[in-house]
Amino acid sequence: MPRSYTDESDFIIVGAGSAGSAMANRLSEDGANSVLVLEYGGSDFGPFIQMPAALSYPMNMRTYDWGYWSEPEPHLGGRSLACPRGKVIGGSSSINGMVYVRGHACDYDTWEEMGAKGWGYRDVLPYFKRLENSHGGQEGWRGNDGPLHVSRGKQKNPLYSAFIEAGRQAGYPVTEDYNGAQQEGFGAMEMTIWKGRRWSAANAYLKPVRARANLEMRTRTMVRRILFDGKRAVGVEVDRGGRIERYHARRAVIMAASSINSPKILMLSGIGPAAQLREQGIEVVADRPGVGENLQDHLELYLQMECLQPITLYKHLNLISKGMIGLRWLLFKNGLGATNHFESAAFVRSKAGVKYPDIQYHFLPVAIRYDGKAPAKAHGFQAHVGPMRSPSRGWVRLRSGDHRDAPRIQFNYMSSPQDWEDFRTSIRMTREIFSQPAFAPYVGREITPGVAVQEDAALDDFIREAVESAYHPCGTCRMGAADDVNAVVDPECRVIGVEGLYVADSSIFPRITNGNLNGPSIMVGEKASDHILDREPLPSANQEPWINPNWQTSQR
């Protein structure tokens, strides 16, 4: 019978998401430490989460999503953009698009240059291998016995191969594995799906070990603040169904509550920009001006084309087809319900002089919004495209000192001229890809933005109206050198200025990585576990990733 965790445990993890689930598994692995995981959301049971093709539903359900929105964005005509974050076991890995991207090797070398010593590519590659169970990845570059199954779609629809072939015809490389030696190029998309089910961090890391006597999880538990004895974190105070409870940690409190909620809880607890905290009547424990700053995200838009052949998913958007797809999935875990439908991808460079890819593509054989709304009334297909390394930076700040109030979120999207240039380039590159011979049997009229939208000013108007978040917020508790005044955690993931407190999730990214953030977030949980347990890190890798030898003089 598990003991009461209202007394003490060795580690308290706040958040059962991508990084939190990984840490819950690793910190409780040897049985020597008691671990308590606190999650405000509830169960991930049910087809809306577990069925891959139903991905548009959970991120639009308040049951599973915190429902955050940005403040009106000044460079997007005052639009507020959705910022979904998982409020459920598995966190955002239970409501995301299930796309698996490690990020580029140069991303992590840049982290190290920014002060995250020991987080270069040679250091993180062994942790990616440890977390992966790769099905179809490049031999020698991928893990084969980790908890996270990474698979590829069957690519039955001919439009998937047409996209890859069109990239080749346009002069881009084709890569066998963008998570292997060579990210740059066109190729198959990888997904966290296994045997027809969403393979979230909860399915990979938490559920297999829920029976451990030294691991306890409490759901429907909202953390109000971290408790301190002087400068040492000793536990957390929570709101559990309106009842205030306190849980104490002998060794450490670990924040893994997302790039939105981790800085929020730190600030509610007195760690953050001192002047802002005092405005809210919060006693300052540690003046860390970087808490909540450095917010980054990926933006994307869709280029939609009419398809001349009736081979797209459009024919399945009616209730009868959806019902049949759902029934087949429930009975057999296969068919169109068992994929996220993102089965082709590309990472390319926008211009000569860019060392590694700065544009990402997701290809989809239907013309439809990511949230499942407003499908085009015709057979069509689309490419999601967006720049990877925007210089724009935003922030997360407290709305009040009440833990129940959503924080204020300002991404400051499109605040740099480079953002506009990169998006215009992305649109023109996409049009060129769709004009290749591989698409000739399929491509009809351009649905959006439409052929009339050509000049820079017209493209900018379309971008301002059409651009959407790719849902990759990060960076708000930046990792850096211990003497960096704007860093929040050191390279061991320890919060600077206090003791017994760690942050390990996407909020510690010094700079956003290429592609989707679920894989890098799990990697952070894996690597942070070794730091927290004071274990020797895994031995560094010496594999050299591929960089286009002509990057200085050629765009492709």
CATH assignment of the domain containing 366: 3.30.410.40
pLDDT of amino acid 383: 98
For residues 176-194, give the mean pLDDT: 98
491 burial via Cβ count (<10 Å: 0-12, 13-18, 19+) = buried
pLDDT of amino acid 30: 94
**Residue 328 covered by a domain:** yes
Residues 6+ positions from 536 with CB-CB distance below 8 Å = 530
Give Cα separations from 400 to 278, 373, 397, 408 (angstroms). 11, 33, 9, 9
State pLDDT tens for residues 269-278: 999 999 999 9
Identity of the residue numbered 400:
S
Count of structural domains within the chain: 1
Q: Is 96 annotated as a binding residue?
A: yes
The SS3 assignment for 50 reads helix
pLDDT of amino acid 66: 97
**Residue 162 covered by a domain:** yes
pLDDT of amino acid 374: 64
pLDDT band for position 17 (50/70/90)? very high
Residues 6+ positions from 445 with CB-CB distance below 8 Å = 305, 306, 451
For residues 446-451, give the mean pLDDT: 96
Calculate Rg over the CA atoms of the chain. 23
Residues 6+ positions from 450 with CB-CB distance below 8 Å = none
pLDDT of amino acid 372: 66
State the DSSP code for 16: -
Identity of the residue numbered 371:
D
pLDDT of amino acid 60: 87
| Mean pLDDT across the chain | 96
**Residue 396 covered by a domain:** no
**Residue 525 covered by a domain:** no
State pLDDT tens for residues 360-416: 999 999 998 766 666 778 899 999 999 999 999 999 999 999 999 999 999 999 999
- C-alpha–C-alpha distance, residues 89 and 24, integer Å: 12
Q: Is 498 annotated as a binding residue?
A: no
Check whether 16 has a pLDDT greater than 90: yes
> How many Cα atoms occupy the beta-carbon half-sphere of 59 within 13 Å?
24
For residues 504-532, give the mean pLDDT: 98
Instruction: Provide the token pair at 129.
Output: 């291998």
For residues 528-539, give the mean pLDDT: 98
Q: Is 98 annotated as a binding residue?
A: yes
Closest CA to 296 of 443, 405, 165, 411: 411
Instruction: Provide the token pair at 474.
Output: 């990060």
pLDDT of amino acid 371: 66
Query: Could you write out the DSSP letters of every residue in 431-492?
Result: HHHHTSGGGTTTEEEEEES-TT--SHHHHHHHHHHH-EE-S--B-TT-B--TT-TT-SB-TT
pLDDT band for position 2 (50/70/90)? very low
Least confident of 45-59, 72-86, 359-373, 535-549: 359-373
pLDDT of amino acid 369: 76
pLDDT of amino acid 5: 42
pLDDT of amino acid 28: 98
Q: Is 99 annotated as a binding residue?
A: yes
Closest CA to 103 of 471, 521, 384: 521
Q: Is 35 annotated as a binding residue?
A: no
Task: For 346-380, give the secondary structure using H, E and C.
Answer: EEECCCCCCCCCCEEEEEECCCCCCCCCCCCCCCE
Q: Is 488 annotated as a binding residue?
A: no
Give Cα separations from 319 to 4, 190, 315, 332 (angstroms). 48, 28, 10, 20
Report the share of the chain in percent with pLDDT over 70: 98
**Residue 444 covered by a domain:** yes
- C-alpha–C-alpha distance, residues 33 and 209, integer Å: 14
Asked if 151 and 191 touch (Cβ cutoff 8 Å), the reply is: yes
- C-alpha–C-alpha distance, residues 177 and 543, integer Å: 15
Domain that holds residue 372: 154-188+299-387+415-466
Beta strands in 20-101 (DSSP E): 35-38, 68-69, 82-83
State pLDDT tens for residues 312-323: 999 998 999 999
- C-alpha–C-alpha distance, residues 49 and 95, integer Å: 6
Closest CA to 39 of 286, 210, 288, 211: 210
**Residue 163 covered by a domain:** yes
Q: Which residues are catalytic?
A: 472
**Residue 5 covered by a domain:** no
**Residue 35 covered by a domain:** no
Query: Could you write out the DSSP letters of every residue in 249-277?
Result: EEEEEEE-SHHHHHHHHHHHTTEE-HHHH
pLDDT of amino acid 46: 86
